[in-house]
Amino acid sequence: MSKRTYLALCLSTTKEKWLLDEIPFYCLVDPTHFPRTRSKERIDFLADRWNQCHDAGLAQFPQATHILNVGSQYIPQTTALKQLIDKYDELDCEIILAGNVWGRMQDRLLPYKTTYDTWGYPDLEGFAWRIRQPSGLAQVSSVAMPCIYPVKTWKEHLFHNPTDMDDGIWYNQFCRESGLPVFADLSIAFRRSKHDSNIRQLSIIKRIRITLGVRKRVGKILRYR
C-alpha cells in the first residue's frame, strides 16, 4: 500500500503540548466541561466537537490519510502511541485499530487493572489482570480513543450517536457504519488511574472488608451447590 500520513487529533478544554514531532497535530480547544456521565447532552456535544476537530485539522493538514484520535489524557503516553502507529503500519491494511485502556482499580485488597472504557470497548468489559497483561490482536465490534482509522472512512461516516444510548456512542456507531474490520491490540496499553479519571481509591480497611465479603459469598454458593 502507499505510504500513510498520520494526523493526530485531540479535543481538549485547554491547549495541549504534542510530544511526537514526526506526527502533525491539531487540537480543538473548547472550555466546555461535562462530568464523565452517560448523558445524551454530553455525548451529542462531544460527537459534534469531534467532527469540528476533524474538519479544522484536515483543513490545515489536507495531505493526511489516517487519523490518530487521541484524548488529552493519552498525549503523555508516547510509547503506547508509537506502538499503535507501528502496529497499524505493520498490519498494512485498512482497518480501525486501538490498543486497550487499562484502569488501575483499588477496590479490592490487591490492586488490579481492567478495561476502563467499557462503553467504547463493550467486548472487552470484564478483562482484568494483576501480573500478566493480556496480549495479541482481538477483533471486536468497536473501539474508542486512542485509535487509528482512514480519513476517507471518517469523511464517509461522520461521527454521530445512535438513537438509543444503550447502543453506545459515536465511536460504536462509526465502527458499525465503517464496514472495516475493528481490532484492539491488547499488547498496547494505555493507562488511566485515580489521578486522571473518576476511578475511586478505597481505604485499605474498606478494601479488606469488600474482599472478605466476596470470599464469604463465594463460600456460601459453593457450600449449597
Identity of the residue numbered 111: P
Contact predicate 15/28, CB 8 Å: no
pLDDT of res. 167: 94
- 131 lies in a domain? yes
Instruction: Using pLDDT thresholds of 50, 70 and 90, give the confidence band for residue 195.
Output: very low
pLDDT of res. 224: 47
The predicted model gives 153-160 an average pLDDT of 98
Q: What is the CATH number of the domain that holds 129?
A: 3.90.550
The predicted model gives 144-167 an average pLDDT of 97
pLDDT of res. 193: 64
Is the confidence at residue 200, as pLDDT, over 80? no
pTM of the predicted model, to two decimals? 0.85
CA distance 1 to 150: 13
Contact predicate 171/144, CB 8 Å: yes
- 74 lies in a domain? yes
CA distance 75 to 129: 24
17 Cβ contact list (under 8 Å, min separation 6): 75
Is the confidence at residue 221, as pLDDT, over 60? no
Query: 94 vs 2, 4, 114, CA distance in Å?
Result: 11, 11, 28
- 44 lies in a domain? yes
- 167 lies in a domain? yes
Number of structural domains (the chain) is 1
Q: What is the pLDDT of residues 170-191, one digit of tens each?
A: 999 999 999 999 999 999 999 8
Contact predicate 43/161, CB 8 Å: yes
Contact predicate 69/158, CB 8 Å: no
Q: Domain of 201? A: 6-223
Instruction: Using pLDDT thresholds of 50, 70 and 90, give the confidence band for residue 130.
Output: confident
Query: 5-17: buried (b, 16+ CB within 10 Å) or exposed (e) per residue?
Result: ebbbbbbbeeebe
- 86 lies in a domain? yes
- 1 lies in a domain? no
CA distance 99 to 190: 7
Instruction: Using pLDDT thresholds of 50, 70 and 90, give the confidence band for residue 222.
Output: very low
Q: What is the pLDDT of residues 22-65, one digit of tens each?
A: 999 999 999 998 887 889 999 999 999 999 999 999 999 999 99
Query: 114-147: buried (b, 16+ CB within 10 Å) or exposed (e) per residue?
Result: bbbbbbbbbbbeebeeeeeebeeebebebbbbbb
Task: Look at 193 and 192; give whichever has higher pLDDT.
Answer: 192
